[in-house]
Structure 1
Amino acid sequence: MSRNISLRHLRYFAEVANSGSFTTAASRLFVTQSALTSTIQQFEEAVGLKLFDRNTRRVVMTPEAFRFKDEAEKIIKEFDAAIADLEALAQSQKGHIRIAAAPSTIYQFLVKAVMAFRVQYPDVTFSLRDASAQQVEQLVVDGELDFAIASKHKGFAELDYSPLLEDRFGVVCRPDYRLASGHGPLQWNELVEDDYIGFTPDTGIGTTLRNHAPRWPAIENPQFEISSSTSLLAVLNEGGCFAIVPALTAKVAGFESLAFRELVDPGLSRELCLITRRLRSLSPSSQRLVRVITETIRQQNLPEGVTAFISNPA
């Protein structure tokens, strides 16, 4: 009987499940309510289970349907992503590229690479997102992004992570703060816990510090947390405090007037990776853009504390 079930059945099921209404679902699917009802009945007969309970106010999923809903939506997303890949191949040099990246990479080299790419391929359009590390991986898994450039956050099995850069951590602060004085790197035992500004756990920097920094109480329980480099800049400019950030972050716009000193004993670094869906080919346009990005990194004078290790991740 499963051979009689098509993607149409899954789409109709998911729409009714999400809307809780046959009328609303039919409108969103651009089908008649009778056609939708008939398709759901076919689905229920094919699997031998009742999927929805109907009352005068709302359509409610049965427990079996509730358990199946996530799997159905996953199948739909994977199918749509596969078709999108196929369409991108057909479009060749045309099409639309969807990217997300860490803010520091957008500022340091990604925008430069995209602008160079557009000179060669003016018919390709772009969406560039500045998303948190937590969001980036899920967006690539769901097929809402072609690729991303960010650090590994959760490490999804469905994704490939190709290292592009090693970015070493250090202290960033105002020049008149005591840690700014002196030359060379800093050691962890020189830091003052009460002056530390931390990053929230949903950020790539926050995750890296919590998982890989040496045992230092303020890392786990900072008195002050922020969730973006923009917020951090505002706090640091008030003075009397410091943060621990990668070297690339310390070089983004607005941070030029701040001091940065690398941390050692032990040193700490993050990998910025090209994040793609495993077993899914990038479209020709995306492959060309990745080549332009890697060439831009090779040609650029990277800030102190940043090392490229690129062969050819495309």
Structure 2
Amino acid sequence: MNRTVTLRHLRCFAEVADSGSFTTAATRLFVTQSALTATIQQFEEAVGLKLFDRNTRRVVMTPEAVRFKAEADKILREFDAAISDLEAIAQSQKGHVRIAAAASAIYQFLVQAIVSFREQYPAVSFTLRDAGAQQVEQLVVDGELDFAIASRYKGFDELDYVPLLTDTFGVVCRPDSALAQGNGPLKWAELPAEGYVAFTQDTGIGTVLRTEGPAWPGFDNCQFEISSSTSLLAVLTEGGGFSIVPALAGKVAGFETLTFRELEAPVLKREVCLITRRLRSLSPTAQRLLRVLLETIHAQTLPAGVVAAPAAPASLA
């Protein structure tokens, strides 16, 4: 005997129970009366109980069916609600997106993109983290984030790195600093060996400078290390000195009180990437957000020294 009970059996049972008529239930379910009768018979055979008593005027539930009806309604209600939630997420009517990004990316375009996205999809919620490059990559690998926007740190095999933009490194300092005087780029050879404020090695900026920067003596003569642009702003504003940051980082909130001058001879650039976990599909909501993000990047006037990547990721085109 086939004891498989499906949602179709439950729906037919509930409709007959509610209407008290096979004819009415069949009309509501858009099936023939004979097909409905056969389905109820299959259900009764599967559970080994009679579910309805039939008389000339009305179909009445048996005592066993009356006790079961509330459970059947609950199962159908919860299933329909779950499917509705799934469809809503697919249409970005609701859902949650988890992101980590460099502070400069958050300030320059990510928050603007989220605000624009929420105008269309107000029920979507977000978790936004400003974390170091080392932590960001591990969070994506572990599935704790949907995606990240940061520079490459270790370059995990499990991750995909799609360039979003590049920016040029330069000096940031107070306007009254000797390095702030004059126009145009500075040369690395012009930088003093004293007063340099460095980024820690676990940051994307610190990694790029240590691995790709020129042989500048100041790297070995650092007296102060910080791990975030917020800390850097406080140190430079109150204590003076100078640091070396990408152009995008030199434009975050608060840095308008400081002076930024690009460095040359050599020119050093950083690549800001969309970081996702390889072989893991982004949710429809995250994909829609990324499309808005790309539109935001290409629609705005980026700071000097910052250039957007010419092409969108193929998966979002």
Same fold by TM (over 0.5)? yes
Partner of 1:194: 194
Q: Distance in 2 between matches of 1:149 and 1:312?
A: 14
Partner of 1:173: 173
Q: Distance in 2 between matches of 1:88 and 1:183?
A: 56
Partner of 2:242: 242
Specify every segment of 5 or more residues in structure 1 that has no aligned partner in the other structure, as ranges: 1-86
Give TM-score, length-normalised by structure 2. 0.70
- The equivalences for 1:53-68 within 5 A come to none
Structure 1 residues 266 and 145, CA, compared in 2 at 3 Å: closer, same or farther? same
Partner SS, residue 113 of structure 2: helix
The one-letter code matched in structure 2 to 1:170 is: G
The one-letter code matched in structure 2 to 1:172 is: V
Q: Distance in 2 between matches of 1:91 and 1:113?
A: 19
Alignment of 1:265 with 2:265, yes or no, is: yes
Partner of 1:17: none
Alignment of 1:113 with 2:113, yes or no, is: yes
Q: Distance in 2 between matches of 1:244 and 1:213?
A: 10
Partner SS, residue 238 of structure 1: helix
Work out whether residues 95 and 124 of structure 1, in 8 Å CA contact, stay in contact via their aligned partners in 2: yes
The one-letter code matched in structure 1 to 2:136 is: V
Give TM-score, length-normalised by structure 1. 0.70
Q: Distance in 1 between matches of 2:124 and 2:175?
A: 44
Q: Distance in 2 between matches of 1:274 and 1:235?
A: 30
The one-letter code matched in structure 1 to 2:152 is: K
- The equivalences for 1:269-284 within 5 A come to 269-284=269-284
Q: Distance in 1 between matches of 2:260 and 2:192?
A: 16
Work out whether residues 89 and 283 of structure 1, in 8 Å CA contact, stay in contact via their aligned partners in 2: no
Cα shift at 1:89? 8.0
Q: Distance in 2 between matches of 1:89 and 1:134?
A: 35
Structure 1 residues 282 and 310, CA, compared in 2 at 3 Å: closer, same or farther? farther
Q: Distance in 2 between matches of 1:194 and 1:145?
A: 40
Over aligned residue pairs, what C-alpha RMSD do you find? Answer: 1.5
Cα shift at 1:167? 1.0
Q: How many percent of aligned residue pairs carry the same amino acid?
A: 68
- The equivalences for 1:1-314 within 5 A come to 91-92=89-90, 93=92, 94-313=94-313, 314=316
Deviation by residue 1:246-277 (Cα, 9 ceiling, x = unmatched): 11111111110111100001000100000001
The one-letter code matched in structure 1 to 2:238 is: E
Cα shift at 1:218? 2.2
Structure 1 residues 186 and 219, CA, compared in 2 at 3 Å: closer, same or farther? same
Q: Distance in 1 between matches of 2:220 and 2:285?
A: 42
The one-letter code matched in structure 1 to 2:205 is: I
Work out whether residues 88 and 95 of structure 1, in 8 Å CA contact, stay in contact via their aligned partners in 2: no
Structure 1 residues 132 and 89, CA, compared in 2 at 3 Å: closer, same or farther? farther
Cα shift at 1:224? 1.2
Q: Flag as ranges the 4+ runs of structure 1 deviating above 4 A.
A: 87-90
Work out whether residues 294 and 310 of structure 1, in 8 Å CA contact, stay in contact via their aligned partners in 2: no
Work out whether residues 169 and 247 of structure 2, in 8 Å CA contact, stay in contact via their aligned partners in 1: yes
Cα shift at 1:231? 1.1
Deviation by residue 1:151-189 (Cα, 9 ceiling, x = unmatched): 000000000000001011000001110010111100011
Q: Distance in 1 between matches of 2:138 and 2:156?
A: 8
Cα shift at 1:239? 5.0
Cα shift at 1:90? 7.8
Q: Distance in 2 between matches of 1:176 and 1:286?
A: 44
Deviation by residue 1:265-308 (Cα, 9 ceiling, x = unmatched): 10001000000011111110000000000000000110001000
Q: Distance in 2 between matches of 1:148 and 1:291?
A: 14
Q: Distance in 2 between matches of 1:128 and 1:186?
A: 35
Specify every segment of 5 or more residues in structure 2 that has no aligned partner in the other structure, as ranges: 1-84
Structure 1 residues 112 and 236, CA, compared in 2 at 3 Å: closer, same or farther? same
Q: Distance in 2 between matches of 1:240 and 1:113?
A: 34
Cα shift at 1:240? 4.0
Partner of 1:43: none
Cα shift at 1:312? 1.6
Deviation by residue 1:92-148 (Cα, 9 ceiling, x = unmatched): 122110000000000010000001001111121111111111100000000000000
Partner of 2:37: none
Partner of 1:7: none
Cα shift at 1:222? 1.4
Partner SS, residue 144 of structure 1: coil
Structure 1 residues 162 and 220, CA, compared in 2 at 3 Å: closer, same or farther? farther
Work out whether residues 170 and 260 of structure 2, in 8 Å CA contact, stay in contact via their aligned partners in 1: yes
Q: Distance in 1 between matches of 2:86 and 2:215?
A: 47
Report the number of matched residues.
Answer: 228
The one-letter code matched in structure 2 to 1:287 is: Q
